[in-house]
């Protein structure tokens, strides 16, 4: 299956948006194919946002799908690296990171 669902997240990845974003991500994973996230417009991320990325990665793997992050803001990249999640999230931190303006 070569279908790719591309999701650009413009909201903050925080507890305040976690429930809505979780549903968007789970719906995309259920549709099948690969999931590609653009986080370049995310200004803020907290532990709820990190948990959401971990959940999406695990759920995609469980369903034999791939999830990648094609771009992330500096804040997201720094938080992911600080929490030592770069390896878990795969090539996400290596491919096309873009700073938020």
pLDDT digits (tens, 9 = 90+) for 22-41: 999 999 999 988 999 999 99
Question: What pLDDT is attached to residue 3?
Answer: 85
**Homologous superfamily in CATH for domain 4-93:** STAS domain (3.30.750.24)
Q: Is the dihedral of CA 19, 34, 91, 8 positive or negative?
A: negative
Is pLDDT at 78 greater than 60 in this prediction? Answer: yes
Rounded to an integer, the average pLDDT of 51-57 is 95
Dihedral class, residue 7 (left if φ above 0, else alpha if ψ from -120 to 50, else beta): beta
Question: What pLDDT is attached to residue 95?
Answer: 45
Rounded to an integer, the average pLDDT of 53-71 is 92
Is pLDDT at 93 greater than 70 in this prediction? Answer: no
């Amino acid at each position: 299956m070569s279908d790719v669902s591309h999701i650009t997240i413009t909201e903050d990845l925080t507890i305040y948006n976690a429930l809505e974003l979780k549903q968007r991500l789970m719906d995309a994973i259920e549709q099948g194919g690969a999931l590609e996230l653009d986080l370049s417009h995310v200004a803020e991320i907290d532990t709820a946002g990190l948990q959401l990325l971990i959940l999406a990665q695990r759920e995609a793997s469980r369903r034999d799908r791939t999830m990648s992050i094609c771009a992330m803001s500096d804040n997201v990249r720094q938080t992911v690296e600080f929490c030592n999640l770069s390896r878990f999230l795969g090539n996400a931190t290596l491919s096309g990171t873009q700073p938020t303006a």
